Amino acid sequence: MIVTLPLWLAFLFSTRTEASGYASYKHELPLADYKLQADINHLRIGYRFDNRMYIEAGAMTGGTGIEMGYKFKKGNWIVKGKFEGTDTTQRDYFKSKVETEIIYTFGG
């Protein structure tokens, strides 16, 4: 997956007022049988839309990654979902997952 920085920057910082661009950094420290593995760093640029959806992509240790998702609130319920995919030089396939989370909060 190739992400061209000028295209992303133009997309993120357009004059649209109903959405906003952002940059994010994420650090992962994987464990296998309680033993530390090589850490993974992500540096992504993203775009959050007013319809509660977002998309982000960028570099990560040994490759690239992309994530897109949503978050909705209705009363005491919160529903979140995302698709995340990574492509690294450490394996010969595109690793991806779809994640959904449903939360109910007690009280007001």
pLDDT in tens, 70-93: 999 999 999 999 999 988 777 777
Q: What is the pLDDT of residue 15?
A: 46
**Rounded mean pLDDT, 57-82:** 94
Q: Per the structure block, which two tokens stand in for 10?
A: 């133009």
Give the domain extent around 76: 5-104
Structural domain count of the chain? 1
- The span from the CA of 67 to the CA of 22, in Å, is 13
